[in-house]
Amino acid sequence: MKFLVVAGTTETATVDGISAAGADPTATYHTPAADLELLEYGDTVFTPSVPVSPSGCPTPAVITRSVRELAPFELLAVESGLATATATPTLTACQQPGGDIREPEPVPTAEESFERARQVGRQLPDDELFIGESIPGGTTTALGVLTALGEPFGVSSSLPENPVSLKQAVVATALDASEIRGGDLAGDPRNAIRLMGDPVLAAVLGVAVGATETGTSVTLAGGTQMIAAGALVRHFGVDHPLEIATTAFVAADETVEIQRAAESLDLDLTVTDPEFERGDHVAFERYCRGEAKEGVGMGGALAFAARAGISMQEIRAQVVETYEEVIGSDGP
Amino acid sequence: MKFLVVAGTTETATVDGISAAGADPTATYHTPAADLELLEYGDTVFTPSVPVSPSGCPTPAVITRSVRELAPFELLAVESGLATATATPTLTACQQPGGDIREPEPVPTAEESFERARQVGRQLPDDELFIGESIPGGTTTALGVLTALGEPFGVSSSLPENPVSLKQAVVATALDASEIRGGDLAGDPRNAIRLMGDPVLAAVLGVAVGATETGTSVTLAGGTQMIAAGALVRHFGVDHPLEIATTAFVAADETVEIQRAAESLDLDLTVTDPEFERGDHVAFERYCRGEAKEGVGMGGALAFAARAGISMQEIRAQVVETYEEVIGSDGP
């Protein structure tokens, strides 16, 4: 098994109130680069600090890293639109950050990023891939893509109160800017990304398409952004079996109806519950209140750990250890 | 053990007659990106073709890859001035290709690249590092750096007839352009790279310094470019033990006197002879005539294989297999 994490940025994240992936909107530029460092080294190297939300919720990379400590897996970091340097070795699908989807063409590199990632997906020798993501603002671009494809699913949020109407307003402006209507880009996933998405979705689509072309099993490791990725793969015309693995936090989100979305897109859904309410620690507190929920492959990593026979209790203990090492025992 | 290969470019390679690392001077821009793909995937992915010299000599990456097939080692590809995309995951020390050393400041990124690589060298958890390189034109920039440091060693060549006087003329012009004389930058290795070197040397120096700071054993895997790297590390003030591992082809080169250079710089030298004269195949022919000689960590990889108990006969058989797979049985 190889665990891919595709990391990038979109200026859409700087819309006030859209994302919790960083202490403030500009700090979110470092978040994906820092997430990759956490996964690779267990700490930040070039990036200034471990990403925490304004309320102190740690990045889901802390959980994915903790799983990796207990059940080592091979990581392949893919860069598609990072805005800052990372010390983690990355396969580069594209170097240009994504623009704000309220502009006419936020992802001019969509085709290039897709093609490179597709070649890589074909080339990977592994039988099985997990694909996760790290991109602040990514649920909004996911909603943009789903809307362009005409797939009527809601999206999750890293904030406890999902700013649904704000996201919908951003997507409505984005449709206007690109002079399209919802559903206009059904069957045209690359243009859906180019006009309404982000560079990470382009690379996720490319790797997933390339991998299925060579018979590799693909698990989309994430929540609603991976629903958008699944929709893109289906609109590309792939009918190969696909898995999606997410957390109980996403499954519990009523805005999302992930079961219905997975069923509609013929994605085989696995939900894993890390039972954070049983862990009495600041690392878990905000997750229990509905923050973060998913990201950086967390749901896939938990499913992988469960399959490897690691208990959720062991994972929680490791999360506490990782948290105290990288953030400190008193929180940020 | 982790095997690093630092890959990049210098415009110095386009001086007519300087390098054999590619079918023509502009093809050398792809060479380091292709070398990294060969090491990682056993074939090219994004790059157009496997690097061969004008006479058909395969890149030393074919040998290093063959060793990796027989004695798997963990590869860490470091990018420091690549000019084209590679499908191999890379740690990015610097994204700007090196300029022609006949210009005043060919490597303005030297300090940045050094510092990033040093942080990475400190962070690597391994007990032992091998460090190789891939940069066409690299022996000329190596001569530039050695001259600036006042280290009077000759350099090798990927051509059977080493164009020594051409390299010396280029270095003389470079000294003039930077308004320095030979030896002026003794004890100032970063400026020696900035004015007379290439981005790959900056990253090799950084990783080696960072690794020795945390007690990691370092083997410089290469010939005269790694003599230059060793000189840079010594001029930085590091007196930690350092190894250098190269091929019999470099050791046999009278222009070089690698034994004397290694001794003078207190580098512990290992020479490995793959006995290519015993292999009756086009893959070996040009090496026996003194072409290529070394590169992409070849000498270090051979030493690692020997230590792992792999015979040179097994390696030659694997080289033939790799060659026929990636280049074809009739040569390029």
Joined together, the tokens standing for residue A273 give 């519950």
| B233–chain A nearest CA distance, Å | 22
Residue B89 burial (10 A CB sphere; 0-12, 13-18, 19+)? buried
Tell whether the model's pLDDT for residue A18 goes beyond 90. Answer: no
* Cβ contacts of A90 on chain B, cutoff 8 Å: 89-92
Could you report the per-residue pLDDT of B87-99, keeping only the tens digit for each? 999 999 999 999 9
Backbone angles phi, psi at A30, to 5 degrees: -85, -20
Could you report the per-residue pLDDT of B202-220, keeping only the tens digit for each? 999 999 999 999 999 999 9
Q: Is A54 on the interface with B (CB under 8 A)?
A: no
pLDDT at residue A161, as a whole number: 87
**For B119, which residue in chain A has the nearest alpha carbon?**
A45
* Cβ contacts of A91 on chain B, cutoff 8 Å: 87-90
3-state secondary structure string across chain A: CEEEEEECCEHHHHCCCCCCCCCCCCHHHCHHHHHHHHHHHCCCCCCCCCCECCCCCECCHHHHHHHHHHCCCEEEEEEECCCCCCCCCEEEEECCCECCCCCCCCCCCHHHHHHHHHHHHHHCCCCEEEEEEECCCHHHHHHHHHHHHCCCCCCCCCCCCCCHHHHHHHHHHHHHHCCCCCCCCCCCHHHHHHHHCCHHHHHHHHHHHHHHHCCCEEEEECCHHHHHHHHHHHHHCCCCCEEEEEEHHHHCCCCCCHHHHHHHCCEEEEEECCCHHHCCCHHHHHHHCCCCCCCCCHHHHHHHHHHCCCCHHHHHHHHHHHHHHHCCCCCC
pLDDT at residue A26, as a whole number: 72
pLDDT at residue A332, as a whole number: 61
pLDDT at residue B16, as a whole number: 86
pLDDT at residue A159, as a whole number: 87
Tell whether the model's pLDDT for residue B189 goes beyond 90. Answer: yes
CA B53 to CA B292: how far, in whole Å?
A: 8
* Cβ contacts of A119 on chain B, cutoff 8 Å: 45-46, 87
| B7–chain A nearest CA distance, Å | 13
Interface size, chain A vs chain B, as Cβ–Cβ contacts under 8 Å? 46
Confidence band of A330 (pLDDT split at 50, 70, 90): low
* Cβ contacts of A88 on chain B, cutoff 8 Å: 91
Does B90 sit within 8 Å of A89, measured CB to CB? yes
**For A76, which residue in chain B has the nearest alpha carbon?**
B89
- The tokens 């206007």 sit on which residue? A176
Look at A128-132, A306-310, B121-125 and tell me which has the smallest mean pLDDT: B121-125
Q: Is A45 on the interface with B (CB under 8 A)?
A: yes
Testing the interface with B: which of A114, A123, A124 to mutate, by most B Cβ within 10 A? A123
B301, B220 Cβ separation under 8 angstroms: no
| B225–chain A nearest CA distance, Å | 24
Does A88 sit within 8 Å of B123, measured CB to CB? no
Residue B26 burial (10 A CB sphere; 0-12, 13-18, 19+)? exposed
B164, B154 Cβ separation under 8 angstroms: yes
The mean per-residue pLDDT over the stretch B247-255 comes to 92
| B180–chain A nearest CA distance, Å | 34
Which residue in B85, B87, B89 is closest to A123 by CB distance?
B87
| B63–chain A nearest CA distance, Å | 21
Tell me the pTM: 0.92
The mean per-residue pLDDT over the stretch B311-331 comes to 90
pLDDT at residue B221, as a whole number: 98
Could you report the per-residue pLDDT of A72-103, keeping only the tens digit for each? 999 999 999 999 999 999 999 999 999 999 99
Q: Is B46 on the interface with A (CB under 8 A)?
A: yes
CA B228 to CA B223: how far, in whole Å?
A: 9
Here the ipTM equals 0.87
Strands B267-272 and B242-247, bridge-based pairing? parallel
Could you report the per-residue pLDDT of B130-177, keeping only the tens digit for each? 999 999 999 999 999 999 999 999 899 888 888 999 999 999 999 999
pLDDT at residue B332, as a whole number: 61
Confidence band of A331 (pLDDT split at 50, 70, 90): low
Instruction: Calculate the average pLDDT of chain A.
Output: 94
**For A74, which residue in chain B has the nearest alpha carbon?**
B74
* Cβ contacts of A77 on chain B, cutoff 8 Å: 89
Joined together, the tokens standing for residue A82 give 């990072």
Does B90 sit within 8 Å of A87, measured CB to CB? no
pLDDT at residue A20, as a whole number: 74
A8, A21 Cβ separation under 8 angstroms: no
Look at B122-126, B197-201, B224-228 and tell me which has the smallest mean pLDDT: B122-126
* Cβ contacts of A85 on chain B, cutoff 8 Å: 92, 116
Could you report the per-residue pLDDT of A243-298, keeping only the tens digit for each? 999 999 999 998 889 999 999 999 999 999 999 999 989 899 999 998 899 999 99
* Cβ contacts of B86 on chain A, cutoff 8 Å: 92
Tell whether the model's pLDDT for residue B21 goes beyond 80. Answer: no
pLDDT at residue B277, as a whole number: 94
| A4–chain B nearest CA distance, Å | 11
pLDDT at residue A252, as a whole number: 93
Could you report the per-residue pLDDT of A144-173, keeping only the tens digit for each? 999 999 999 989 988 888 899 999 999 999
* Cβ contacts of B85 on chain A, cutoff 8 Å: 92, 116
| B169–chain A nearest CA distance, Å | 38
* Cβ contacts of A210 on chain B, cutoff 8 Å: none
Q: Is A214 on the interface with B (CB under 8 A)?
A: no
Confidence band of B331 (pLDDT split at 50, 70, 90): low
Does B88 sit within 8 Å of A45, measured CB to CB? no
CA A241 to CA B198: how far, in whole Å?
A: 48
Could you report the per-residue pLDDT of A43-53, keeping only the tens digit for each? 999 999 999 88
**For B84, which residue in chain A has the nearest alpha carbon?**
A92
* Cβ contacts of A46 on chain B, cutoff 8 Å: 116, 119
| A114–chain B nearest CA distance, Å | 13
Does B92 sit within 8 Å of A91, measured CB to CB? no
Q: Is A77 on the interface with B (CB under 8 A)?
A: yes
Confidence band of A326 (pLDDT split at 50, 70, 90): very high
Does A89 sit within 8 Å of B87, measured CB to CB? no
Does B41 sit within 8 Å of A119, measured CB to CB? no
Could you report the per-residue pLDDT of A189-217, keeping only the tens digit for each? 999 999 999 999 999 999 999 999 999 99
pLDDT at residue B159, as a whole number: 87
| A120–chain B nearest CA distance, Å | 7
The mean per-residue pLDDT over the stretch A171-178 comes to 97
Name the B residues in 87-146 with CB < 8 Å from any A CB. 87-92, 116, 119-120, 123
